[in-house]
Amino acid sequence: MWPMKKSRRNYRRIEKSVRAILEAVGEDPDRQGLQKTPERIARMFLDEVLVGYQQDLEEIVNNAIFDIEYDQMVVVKDIDVYSMCEHHMLPFFGVAHVAYIPKGKIIGLSKIPRIVDHFARRLQVQERLTVQIATALQELLQPRGVAVVIEAIHLCSVMRGVRKPRNKMVTSEVLGLFRSDLRTREEFMAHIGRSFHLND
């Protein structure tokens, strides 16, 4: 997917839609507290929460892939994740754990959280997000294996619907050695240590 380019027209379209929503729920968009809400929401979506649509993965990685003879597991755990459920446009949030086993190439440490954000900052389902992160690393590095686990709380099941505030969703995607070799997968799980304790 090519990055979407921001334009003033897109900000105006969101502002107009937010104003219509405010009117539809019985609010007065011209009252003092709401006068700038459409503008704020447009900036929030296009500049922050859904900025992933406007980013280019190659620019994010910025050639930070290096030829290194290292063949042991690399794990980056407890990466904060904030995304938006595409079904109700409510946030889900938690942590991602990412690992790969190099085959002659490594990626700069800061790039893995940036890749997570790149895919998280758009309308998502957690399952797709997990796969996209793993697939991107697989394509960028061609490693011996990739593993991604995401643990998150979804406000669509906390604020509405079943209203269960302690529900956590766990998704995983394992490729290469992580899929074919049980010991490799177990090592990864031992590294991440199941240390996720939101609301505990």
Report the catalytic residues. 85-88, 126, 154, 156
Query: Would you say 124 and 105 are in contact if contact means Cβ atoms under 8 Å apart?
Result: no
Distance CA 172, CA 95 (A): 12
Strands of the sheet containing 145-154, edge to edge, are 123-124, 74-85, 91-101, 145-154, 169-176
200 contacts: CB under 8 Å, gap ≥ 6: none
Distance CA 53, CA 51 (A): 5
